[in-house]
Amino acid sequence: MNRKIVVLGQRIGVLILALSFHISAAADEVDPWQSYNRAMFSFNDTVDRYTLKPLAKGYVFITPKFVRTGVSNVLSNVGEVPSIFNGILQGKPEKAGRDTGRLLINSTLGLAGIFDVAKHLGLPSLGREDFGQTLAVWGVDQGPYIVLPFLGPSTARDTVALPAGWYTDPRAYIDHQRTKNVTLGVTLLDTRAELLDLEEHITGDRYTFVRGAYLQRRVFLINDGEVEDAFGWDDDFGDDDDYGY
C-alpha cells in the first residue's frame, strides 16, 4: 500500500512539473518581452495610481449615477461608427446593420445617445468590432503581447491596428481643440471609472492577471463569444454585460 502511494505521488509530481513547464513555455511564447513589459506595466501602474485612479474616484463621488450612465451611453454611441466600419470589413453585414440601426435610433430617439433606446427596442449591443479584430479575421497572427506606455495591454497585431482605430473614431475630427481635449478627458475618466469595481477581482500577480484577462477578452471578441477551451469543449464566456462592456 505504501509503495502504491509513493508511486502515485511520484506520478503526480511528474505531472505537476510537466504542467508547470508547459505553462512556462506558453508564457514565453506569448510574452517574449516580459522584462520590458513588466517595467512598462509598473510605470503605467504608478501613473494610474497617482493620477487617473484618484480622478476616477472623484468623478464617481461627485457625479450622479444617471449622469455617468448618460455619458457612457453617448461615448458608446460614438463607438458604433468604427464598429460599423469594421463589421463591413469583416464580412458581417448583419452585425454592421445592427450597429447602424443602434446608431440611428440612439442618435435621434436617444437624444444623441444619452439614452440607449435601441436596447429597449430589441437591439442590445453585441459588442464592438475594432480593426485589431478585423486583422484577426483576415488571418493576421496575434504576435507577442506588449504593454504600451499609458495605453496599457496590447499585442503586436492590436498595436498595428491602432492608427485605423483613431482615423475611424469621429472624436478625432473635432476641430475645436478645447472641445476635443474635454472629450478625451471625459472618455478617459469614464473608462477608468468603469474599471474601479473590476479591480476587486484581481488576485495574485497583477501583471499576470491583467495579461491573462486582456488576452482572453480579445479571444472572446474575435470569436464573437464562441471559444473552444483547452479540452476541446465549446465554451460561451458569457455576454458583454458580464465584462462590463
Q: Report the pLDDT value the prediction gives residue 236, as an integer from 0 to 100.
A: 43
pTM (two decimals): 0.80
Kindly state the cell numbers that stand for 238: 458569457
Which residues neighbour 38 within 8 Å (Cβ) at sequence distance 6 or greater?
147, 207
CB 145 within 8 A of CB 153: yes
Between 165 and 29, the more confident residue is: 165
Among the listed residues 89, 123, 120, the one whose alpha carbon sits nearest the alpha carbon of residue 103: 123
* 3-state DSSP helix/strand/coil % of the chain, to nearest 5: 70, 5, 25
pLDDT in tens, 42-90: 999 999 999 999 999 999 999 999 999 999 999 999 999 999 999 999 9
Tens of pLDDT, residues 208-240: 999 999 999 999 999 987 755 443 434 444 444
Residue found under cell 469583416: 90
Amino acid (one-letter) located at 207: Y
> Which helix (H) or strand (E) segment is 234 a member of?
strand 234-236
pLDDT band at 200 (very low <50, low <70, confident <90, very high): confident
**What pLDDT does 203 receive?**
87
For the cut 90, the answer to whether the pLDDT of residue 25 exceeds it is no
Report pLDDT for 211: 97
Q: What ranges make up the beta strands (E) of 81-179?
A: 145-148, 152-155
Q: What is the pLDDT of residues 178-197, one digit of tens each?
A: 999 999 999 999 999 999 99
CA distance 34 to 145: 8
- Whether 3 has a pLDDT exceeding 90, the answer reads no
pLDDT for 245: 41
CA–CA separation, 62 and 64 (whole Å):
7
Bridge partners (DSSP) of residue 228 are 234
Spatial CA neighbour of 218 closest among 164, 140, 118: 140
